Amino acid sequence: MTRVGVGIDIGGSGVKGALVDLDKGEFIGERVRYDTPESSTPLAVAKICKTIIDELGAAPEVPIGITVPAPVLHGVIPFIANLDQSWTGINADELFQEVTGHQVTVLNDADAAGVAEYYFGAAKGVAGTVIVTTLGTGIGSALLYNGILVPNTELGHVELDGRDAESHAAASQRVKQDLSWEEWISRLQRYYSHIEMLFSPDLMVVGGGVSKKHDRFLPKLDLKCPIVPAALRNTAGIVGAAVYADEQAKNNVPTAPGV
């Protein structure tokens, strides 16, 4: 029998959800998407999540994972960079449960992508230290050691040359600051060299929308460890959220089968 979960990914421009086959890491049926409301308050976004869960027809026992672009500490959001500031201090677990009427697990968006890449994608079963970064509006990060997620690493906000790294090197900045690919690549080089120096990872994986164009920048980065494009691309957040929620329901840490 197919084991099913629900994943919902809350981003700056869209809230997307799907039913997920937990063993294959694939969507079952179509993805549902709504625009993130202009006023992206917790309540407005939670209501969209309820609509998505209802449309997907999730049974009450199905695990539901919801990602936010912020760290999540025992359900609480300590700060948020790219959504409405009223998220700060909110207990997202409680709010989302109240509004959706379902038991839900809320987690960081990049952590979800990291779990998905580890279970099904570019980091599948890789031992040692793996860092998954997502390049989008911000820079998200997931740190896994032997498949165990160390949550909320927030490596997009390391201070580099006196600046918040994501405000300098996120994919959105290439467009916003009208940078050439070469200019942006030199910022990425500085960023990834720094992360490599701090963590000595065995593997780095790069996701986010721009990873579709990985040919244009990944081969130009000079690093000691391999750096590869994410395999799941835009399904990673949703798949990882569903898998993580399922593991949490079983009281497991997210470790891939066989590791």
Enumerate binding residues for ligand BGC (CB under 6 A).
Answer: 69-71, 81-82, 108-110, 134, 138, 140, 154, 156-157, 166
Give 33 or 103: the residue with its C-beta nearer to ligand BGC: 33
> Which residue lies nearer to ligand BGC by CB, 7 or 140?
140
CA–CA distance, 108 with 38 (Å, rounded to integer): 21
Q: Which residue is nearest to ligand BGC (CB)?
A: 138
Residue closer to ligand BGC (CB basis): 109 or 117: 109
Q: In the complex with ligand BGC, which residue's Cβ is closer, 9 or 246?
A: 9
Residue 168 Cβ vs ligand BGC, minimum distance, rounded to whole Å: 13
If the CB atoms of residues 156 and 254 are measured against ligand BGC, the closer one turns out to be: 156
Secondary structure percentages of the chain, helix, strand, coil, to 5: 40, 25, 35
Among all chains, which residue has been given the structure tokens 């900045």? 173
Taking Cα atoms as reference points, which of 31, 35, 23, 24 lies closest to residue 7?
Answer: 31
Contact 79, 154 (CB under 8 A): no
For residues 162 and 176, give the distance between their C-alpha atoms in angstroms, rounded to a whole number: 20
Distance linking the first and last C-alpha atoms of the chain: 24
Task: Yes or no: say if 34 and 14 are a contact pair by the CB < 8 Å rule.
Answer: yes
Shortest distance, CB of residue 140 to ligand BGC, whole angstroms? Answer: 3
> Closest distance between ligand BGC and the C-beta of residue 198, in Å?
17
Q: How far is the CB of 199 from ligand BGC (least distance, A)?
A: 17
CB of 98 to ligand BGC, least distance (A): 23
Query: 91 phi and psi, to 5 degrees?
Result: -85, 100
Contact by Cβ (8 Å): 171, 209 = yes
Give me the long-range contacts of 88-95 (CB less than 8 A, separation at least 24): 90/42, 92/42, 92/66, 92/68, 95/42, 95/43, 95/46
Min dist CB 54 to ligand BGC, Å, is: 26
Give the residue with the Cβ less far from ligand BGC, 73 or 127.
Answer: 73
